[in-house]
Amino acid sequence: MKKRVLFVCVENSNRSQMAEGFARELGSGVVEAYSAGSRPSGQINAMAVRAMAEKGIDISVQQSKGLSDLPQAEWEWVVTMGCGDACPYLPAKNRDDWALTDPKALPYDEFCKVRDEIERRVAALIEDCRASVNLE
């Protein structure tokens, strides 16, 4: 059974969108990935789309959405991404906060460093989910 994973940031235009894209790609068959924002911008940042395309992942089809747009689900993991008090508490079996800089105002090379850190953390999360699936 796939584990439901939710990535939350403020605008749902950069960090959480990239995390969702990596989780869908790296966790195919293991996780069901979602993302949302506490105050969604309504659009995905073009730099996020470009940075993910460099990794072979198309997030241009994803949509910026709010927490109320999510399905009612029991979350295996809720990962907040440096949004502090702007991220409300969501019930989950596991929780983590990745204190990541919002890359939207960074130069592109720095933006890509945040992307690469998100990829590293998502890959580790997928491995944790894969291990828990194998234990069940």
Any catalytic annotation for residue 129? no
**Catalytic: which of 5, 6, 8, 9?**
9
75-80 and 92-97 as β-strands: parallel, antiparallel, unpaired?
parallel
| 112 among known catalytic residues | no
Count CA atoms closer than 13 A to 45's CA, side-chain side. 22
Cα–Cα distance for residue pair 96/112, rounded to 1 Å? 22
Sheet with 75-80, side-by-side order of all strands: 31-37, 3-9, 75-80, 92-97
Instruction: Kindly name the residue from 87, 100, 122, 125 that is annotated as catalytic.
Output: 87
* 14, 46 Cβ separation under 8 angstroms: no
* Active-site position among 10, 83, 118, 122: 83
Catalytic-residue membership of 87: yes
Annotated catalytic residues are 9, 83, 87
